[in-house]
Amino acid sequence: MSLETDLLIDRRRLKRGLALWRVVAILAVFAAAAVALRDSGPARTLLGAHVARLAVTGLITEDRERDQALRDLARDGRARALIVAIDSPGGTVAGGEALHRALAEVARAKPVVAVMGGTAASAGYMIALPAQRIFAREATVTGSIGVIMQTVEFSGLMERLGISAQAITGGSLKDEPSPFRPLSPEGRAALAAVVQDLHAQFIAMVAEGRGMAEPEVRALADGRVFTGRQALAAKLVDAIGGEAEARAWLAAEKGVPADLPLRDVTAAGERRWLSRLLRDARKAVSDERLSLDGLFAVWHPSLQ
């Protein structure tokens, strides 16, 4: 027998041996899975069952990646519930509305609990409303059910400096508000109507989310803030507590095991450290105190 024939026979034997070990390995994996499924604890880990947690901090703005991650979460059977951890003074009205809608979609599919930290005011309170249970600390600052639009006007200073500004518009209210001249009565009325309509939308969200009549909400919706204890008395939150109390409630009322692991909801674009750094920088630059105008559902002491 030639040397080449011997090598060919050895190679075929080696291939048959490797194939046999591959089959053995696959059977071992299936056997391990079968054993795990007999034990509820390891089975939950194997299948990825968990409680999701979304941390909302700082200024709330629109975030398509975040909202898509929440839509994916609503369809993810491995996530048994969602805890929304809020520490925010609010943000833009549109940003709060978008996050409210995304969380409401999750709440239609699985239990959602909101846990308020130091501050959960204005849009920070708005996004807690889809939750089936809202927890706050006794010292949490919350509420601030209102909408604000701020602008600056320095026409008097410009006049003293001999500076003038001209605007050519296709509508009489197109440049309202303007930093270069005082608001006209018509412009003020038009902007006030916008703010009041947005305020009415916010009130309707509270009434629906908290099961309250709109007149009852309007009595609380003058922009004031509440402590957690005051909010509890006003029925704006359900209980005093934090994440531990939220997990206990999920276990007792929704049958979500208390020993399931927590997993943070992370948008795909935020998994890279550079993306997180750029996002935080954008938020810092776009702080509501630096804006000349805009519509915000945000709480902060008056700048005047």
Residue showing tokens 């804006």 = 291
DSSP one-letter code for 268: G
User: Distances in Å between the alpha carbon of 203 and those of 222, 227, 300?
Assistant: 10, 19, 19
Q: What is the pLDDT of residue 123?
A: 94
How far does Cα 244 stand from its chain's mean position?
20
Please report the beta strands in 108-181, taking only residues with DSSP state E, as ranges in sequence order. 112-121, 133-136, 141-143, 148-149
- List, for residues 138-187, the tens digit of each pLDDT value: 999 999 998 888 888 887 877 788 887 777 878 887 878 878 788 888 88
User: Which of 40, 164, 172, 174 does the annotation list as catalytic?
Assistant: 174
pLDDT of residue 304: 39
165-175: buried (b, 16+ CB within 10 Å) or exposed (e) per residue? eeeeeeeeeee
Cβ–Cβ under 8 Å, residues 177 and 187: yes
Is residue 122 flagged as an active site residue?
A: yes
Domain residue ranges in the chain = 49-153+223-298
144 in active site: no
3-class DSSP state of 126: helix
- pLDDT tens-place values along the chain, 304 residues long: 454 555 455 556 655 555 555 555 565 555 555 444 443 444 444 458 999 999 999 999 999 999 999 999 999 999 999 999 999 999 999 999 999 999 999 999 999 999 999 999 999 999 999 999 999 999 999 999 988 888 888 878 777 888 877 778 788 878 788 787 888 888 889 888 988 999 999 999 999 999 999 999 999 999 999 999 999 999 999 999 999 999 999 999 999 999 999 999 986 544 444 455 555 555 544 444 433 334 555 555 444 3
CB 124 within 8 A of CB 88: yes
Burial class for 220, CB neighbours closer than 10 Å (0-12, 13-18, 19+): buried
In b/e form, how buried is each residue of 188-201, taking b as 16+ CB within 10 angstroms? Answer: eeebeeeeeebbee
Q: Which of 135, 123, 79, 130 is nearest to 101 (CA)?
A: 130
Whole-Å CA distances, 139 to 80, 120, 225: 30, 11, 12
Catalytic residue among 122, 155, 254, 286: 122
Phi/psi at 189 (nearest 5 deg)?
-65, -40
- How high is the pLDDT of residue 143? 95
pTM to 2 decimal places: 0.74
- Is the distance from CB of 207 to CB of 104 less than 8 angstroms? no
Collapse the DSSP code of 192 into the 3-class scheme (helix H, G, I; strand E, B; otherwise coil) and give the result. helix
d(CA 148, CA 93): 9
Q: What is the pLDDT of residues 239-272, one digit of tens each?
A: 999 999 999 999 999 999 999 999 999 865 444 4
Kindly give the residue spans of alpha helices, DSSP state H, lying in the chain. 3-37, 40-47, 64-75, 93-107, 123-126, 155-161, 185-210, 214-218, 228-233, 243-254, 273-285
Q: Going by CATH, does the domain composed of 49-153+223-298 fall within 3.90.226.10?
A: yes
Tokens 């001209």 -> residue:
166
